Amino acid sequence: MKPAIAVAHIKSALAYRRANISLDSVLVIDVEATTGADRERGAIRDIIQVGACLLHISTGSIQNADSVLVRPTSSEVTPFCTDLTGITPAMARDGRTFVEACEWLRAKYDSEVKSWASYGNFDRLQFVVQCEREGLPYPLSHDHLNIKLAVALHAGWPKGKGLTRALAALKMKHEGRHHDAKDDAINAARLLHRALRPK
């Protein structure tokens, strides 16, 4: 992480320490982003879809699953990206701005005062980098849980597995389409609920 981004993230985190974080449910988020076939290191990526749902801790129910398409500003939707996500350049161009997507998270999910989780760290870092690049306030709380790590610790695996491999290893059926942000958020929430249960 670049120094300027790290400083901005730390300042934002310190501000959020004063927030009252709700623990009755966890906001689970997945993002899809622009990428080339080689997924080159250091390439600029834009979020092109945000998926989210609420996992209620006491019951394990998953509610308010939804997603929005987001218009890229600094990169293009490549054919590889379309094959991966099903999102075409035209679909992305008709999406919301990143600012609007952040406001959607705040309005629909109270995202600044919700503990939130994602499968791995990519989603969290993508928000950090893109907010810094576009000069926007971070739309999420800094109470983040890495579901990939939680599942690996629960299952006793020596390292984390990808989302689909983790579901298969735990004999859980994959629901929906992989690399659809809403479906991946739901499957990640299911895995988190499994990790929170005693063996």
Q: Where are the domains of the chain?
A: 3-196
Confidence of residue 6 (pLDDT cuts 50, 70, 90): very low
pLDDT at 1 over 70: no
User: 99-152 pLDDT, tens per residue?
Assistant: 999 999 999 999 999 999 999 999 999 999 999 999 999 999 989 999 999 999
- Of 142, 127, 145, residue with least CA distance to 188: 145
The one-letter code for the residue type at 115 is S
Structurally, at CATH architecture level, domain 3-196 sits in: 2-Layer Sandwich (3.30)
The CA distances from residue 140 to 51, 93, 106, 131, in Å, are: 14, 24, 8, 11
Give the bridge partners for 67, in sequence order. Answer: 51
pTM: 0.89
